[in-house]
């Protein structure tokens, strides 16, 4: 039993470190009037959702700035019409970087949050303290088209 505890203590931090920030990139038309800031962790599911959102909205009328969650706090959000945040819920708690960001303006009309949790949806299991549009999904790649449709609908209402 003691050996199991020691192994768990050594492996758990490693597993937490496996999920890194989405690489920074800029997509779309640099002079487009519709600017979207996307902050996310780098997972296969979130990549699939991000790709689907960009494909559905296109790159002619939109410009997307993609950053990692650790870069969210330092972003000047004034130029963006939408701030899309994609993050997992871990232990029933939203990432503190997102909580800190949203606490600055809990009813920010620009913010849209996709939160994910393993293989099940959290829609009815989490208390949400912010008045921003939020989408909940399991991290199942076959759900990416449905999730991206929901996000695209929210994004379109902002412009």
Q: Is residue 31 a part of any domain in this protein?
A: yes
According to the model, what pLDDT value does residue 35 have? Answer: 97
What's the mean per-residue pLDDT of the chain? 83
Q: Is residue 9 a part of any domain in this protein?
A: no
Q: Is residue 4 a part of any domain in this protein?
A: no
Q: Is residue 111 a part of any domain in this protein?
A: yes
Return the exposure string of 104-142: e unless at least 16 CB atoms fall within 10 Å of the residue's CB, then b: eeeeeebbbbbbbbeeebbeeebeeebebbbbbbbbeee
Q: Is residue 45 a part of any domain in this protein?
A: yes
Which range among 19-33, 53-67, 103-117 has the greatest average pLDDT?
53-67
Q: Is residue 3 a part of any domain in this protein?
A: no
**Predicted confidence (pLDDT) at residue 40 exceeds the cutoff of 90:** yes
Number of neighbouring beta carbons within 10 Å of residue 2: 6
The pTM of the full predicted model, rounded to 2 decimals, is 0.82
Structural domains counted in the chain: 1
The CA distance from 25 to 119, in Å, is 28
Q: Is residue 2 a part of any domain in this protein?
A: no
CA-atom Rg of the chain in angstroms? 16
Question: In Å, how far from its chain's centre is CA 125?
Answer: 18
Average pLDDT (61-68) is: 97
Domain with 28 in it = 20-158
CATH code for the domain in which residue 100 is found: 3.40.50.360
Question: Are 37 and 65 a contacting pair, CB within 8 Å?
Answer: yes
Q: Is residue 10 a part of any domain in this protein?
A: no
Q: Using one digit for the tens of pLDDT, what is the confidence trace for 104-155? A: 887 788 999 998 876 665 555 555 667 778 888 888 899 999 999 999 999 9
Nearest CA-CA partner of 151 in 54, 38, 53: 53
């Amino acid at each position: 039993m003691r050996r199991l505890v020691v192994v768990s203590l050594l492996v758990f931090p490693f597993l937490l470190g496996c999920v890194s920030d989405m690489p920074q990139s800029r997509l779309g038309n640099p002079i487009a009037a519709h600017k979207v800031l996307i902050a996310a962790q780098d997972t296969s599911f979130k990549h699939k959702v991000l790709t689907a959102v960009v494909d559905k909205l296109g790159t002619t009328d939109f410009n997307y700035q993609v950053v990692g969650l650790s870069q969210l706090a330092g972003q000047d959000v004034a130029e963006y019409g939408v701030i899309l945040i994609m993050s997992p819920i871990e232990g029933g708690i939203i990432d503190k970087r997102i909580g800190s960001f949203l606490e600055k303006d809990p009813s920010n009309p620009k913010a849209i949050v996709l939160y994910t949790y393993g293989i099940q949806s959290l829609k009815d299991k989490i208390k949400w303290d912010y008045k921003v549009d939020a989408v909940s999904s399991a991290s199942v790649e076959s759900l990416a088209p449905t999730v991206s449709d929901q996000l695209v609908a929210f994004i379109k209402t902002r412009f």
